[in-house]
Amino acid sequence: MKILLISPSKSDHKLKWFNRFFYHAGLSLSVVKNLTPEDIEVEIVDERIENIDINHDADLIGISVHTSVAPRSYTLANEFRKRKKTVVLGGYHPTARTQEALEYSDAVVVGPADTAWPQLLQDFKDNTLKKIYHGNKTPSLKSLIPEKRVGKKTFFPTNRLMTSIGCNYRCSTCAITKFYEKFMHKDLDSVIKEIKLMGKNLITFLDSNIVGNKKFAKELFRRIIPLNKKWIGQTTISTAYDDELLDLMAASGCIGLGIGFESINQNNIHLINKGTNVVSDYEKNINKIHKHGIIIKGNFMFGFDHDTPDVFEKTLEFAINNGIDLLTLNILTPYPGTRYYEQLANQGRLIHNESEHPFAWALYDRNHCVFKPIKANGLTPELLEYGLKWMYAQFYSLPNVKKKILHEPNYTRLLKIASTVFNGLQFIKTIPERKKHSILPSVYYKTLTSDILLNTGVNY
């Protein structure tokens, strides 16, 4: 028996050559492979890195689906089913939109695959496949073992590892808590064993928050110190309140942290229920992290109800003045299954109605505005999409990048250069029309026609 596991791209990705150097897949398909009996042949294909053979001789096709790749996933599923293949869909999107996913597949895994996948395989062998398999929202973590090869080899020197699943927080925009019932971490001894088996010195922790359990995290970092590793991960800005934690992170080899600042307006933070973020403390906490030799990749979102047309300029000024090293910028996106999606749906603020799905899901990529901003604030979908490109172009301009990567230790400089190039690709396609993105967003707003301002957004 053969199984083909697929992680789709939004389209036939044109940057596969680049992704082989810098792109890192998640562990979801590795987990599924680990749950599969050893007598079954499993191949994993990540479409961001390699092409999918639509005529593959696999008996069973499994596709991992998040919202923005749902249209591509459904297209692939249709093609495989035309060829008489059995197709199973799983992941965040099928969990939130199960009936929709069933229209394009033979079976859907709802929630984590931990308990559902083995039963599905047995039913497939017995020719008794069911339509829906429900996973345990508090799964065992034994399957979270790093897979050495996911698709073709990437060349950026890092190993991927998860020490935990789920999240302690309940942000209204996040889908994690809909998938996992609670935050859980692995056995510490098994984590250290995995790290020791890794041949490379740079580790990427894929946890949503590497310090979700501070007691566990501190002991983890203490035990990593003698292993002489370097690592990057994600956390919240509130980590900086704990001096002992920061000391241990630095001592254990932390060189970079992704941090969700989300907004520089505290009212927006309250809207999404992210209690870890105190905007007035951002500056001092950034400084504390930097003093430990750790670079910061800041995540910001735009389109909040308290945002105005100058939000991009103010956020750019904040990022540069506080020395944030790298940026990921997103338009606030209401993913199905989240409280934020339900809120906007109830307010009639979603741009696409049910009849336009599933193929409108491709716009749920955090680069497009899929809801109606509040008109009174002067925001429009067009302005949000313009502002995102403008801020990327300004932050990743050559003078700003050059200033940031000089005088850094080797590992940190390599990380900055790689991440800068990777993030820069998000706006590189706009270079031919760069002049269109040279106007300040607050000025560009005034160039929008009165028709646009009258017909987009909602009044409150």
- The answer to whether residues 212 and 266 belong to one domain is yes
End-to-end CA distance of the chain: 58
pLDDT value, residue 16 = 53
Residues 121 and 165 in one domain: no
C-beta atoms surrounding 60 within 10 Å = 24
Under 8 Å between Cβ of 235 and 209:
yes
The pLDDT of residue 158 is above 60: no
Indicate whether 70 and 213 sit together in one domain.
no
Other Cβ atoms less than 10 A from the Cβ of 276: the count is: 18
Domain assignment present for 151:
no
- pLDDT category, 449, cuts 50, 70, 90? very low
Q: Does a structural domain hold residue 68?
A: yes
Does one domain contain both 51 and 122?
A: yes
Q: Residue 2: count other Cβ atoms within 10 Å of its Cβ.
A: 13
Mean pLDDT of 342-361: 87
Domain that holds residue 332: 159-443
Q: Which residues touch 360 (CB under 8 Å, ≥6 apart)?
A: 352, 370
CATH number assigned to the domain comprising residue 30 = 3.40.50.280
Can you give the pLDDT at residue 153? Answer: 47
User: Could you tell me if residue 66 is inside a domain?
Assistant: yes
**Can you tell me the mean pLDDT for 48-62?**
94
Contacts for 78 with CB less than 8 Å, ≥ 6 apart: 104
pLDDT at 439: 73
Q: Which helix H or strand E contains 26, and what residues bound it? A: none
Q: Looking at the predicted structure, is the pLDDT value of residue 360 above 70?
A: yes
Exposed / middle / buried, residue 320 (Cβ in 10 Å: 0-12, 13-18, 19+) = middle
Q: Does residue 143 form part of some domain?
A: no
Q: What share of the chain is helix, strand, coil (3-state, %, to 5)?
A: 45, 15, 40
Strand ranges of the sheet holding 254-262, from the earlier edge strand across to the other edge: 159-161, 202-205, 230-235, 254-262, 295-302, 326-331
Same domain, 372 and 420: yes
- Tell whether 193 is covered by a domain: yes
- Same domain for 115 and 191? no
Contacts with 324 (C-beta within 8 Å, 6 or more apart), sequence order: 286, 296, 297, 298, 318
Cα 191 to its chain centre, rounded Å, is 23
Q: What is the CATH number of the domain that holds 364?
A: 3.80.30.20
| Co-location of 117 and 200 in the same domain | no
Which of these ranges, 60-64, 159-163, 220-224, 447-451, has the smallest mean pLDDT? 447-451
In terms of Cβ atoms closer than 10 Å to its own Cβ (0-12, 13-18, 19+), residue 393 is middle
Using DSSP bridges, classify how beta strands 295-302 and 326-331 pair: parallel, antiparallel or unpaired: parallel
**Which pLDDT tens digit goes with each residue over 241-284?**
999 999 999 999 999 999 999 999 999 999 999 989 999 999 99
From 93-97, 172-176, 295-299, 333-337, the region with the lowest mean pLDDT: 172-176
Q: Are strands 295-302 and 41-46 parallel, antiparallel or unpaired?
A: unpaired
Residue 88 inside a domain? The answer is: yes
Distances (CA, A) of 201 to 23, 40, 253, 297, 330: 18, 32, 10, 20, 31
Sheet architecture: strand order including 107-110: 41-46, 2-7, 60-64, 86-90, 107-110, 132-134
Closest residue by Cα to residue 277 from 293, 292, 299: 299
Same domain, 94 and 170: no
Nearest to 173 by CA among 239, 260, 91: 260
The H or E element containing residue 162 is none
Higher pLDDT, 455 or 81: 81
- What angle (nearest 5°) sits at the alpha carbon of residue 108, between those of residues 107 and 111? 155
Count: domains in the chain: 2
Question: What is the average pLDDT score of the chain?
Answer: 84
Q: Are residues 407 and 283 in the same domain?
A: yes
Angle at which helices 243-251 and 214-224 pack, to 10 degrees? 30
Widest CA span of the chain, in angstroms? 65
pLDDT confidence of residue 31:
85
Confidence class of residue 24 from pLDDT cuts 50, 70 and 90? low
pLDDT in the model for residue 199: 73
pLDDT at 460 (0 to 100): 38
In single-letter form, the type of residue at position 20 comes to: R
Same domain assignment for residues 207 and 301: yes
Q: What is the pLDDT of residue 216?
A: 95
- Same domain? For 280 and 324 the reply is yes
Of residues 226 and 23, the one with the higher pLDDT is: 226
The pLDDT of residue 14 is 55
| Cβ contacts of 408-415, under 8 Å, gap ≥ 24 | 409/255, 409/293, 411/202, 411/230, 411/255, 412/255, 412/256, 412/293, 412/295, 415/232, 415/255, 415/256, 415/295
Tell me: pLDDT of 76 over 70.
yes
Identify which of 44, 122, 133, 127 has the alpha carbon closest to the alpha carbon of residue 88.
133
Asked whether the beta carbons of 324 and 296 are under 8 A apart, the reply is yes
Same domain, 93 and 163: no
Strands (E), 282-390: 295-302, 326-331
The reply to whether 380 falls in a domain is: yes
Which residue in this structure is represented by tokens 């109800």?
Answer: 305
| Strongest mean pLDDT among 38-52, 283-297, 382-396 | 283-297
In the chain, % of residues over pLDDT 70: 80
Q: Is residue 192 part of a domain?
A: yes
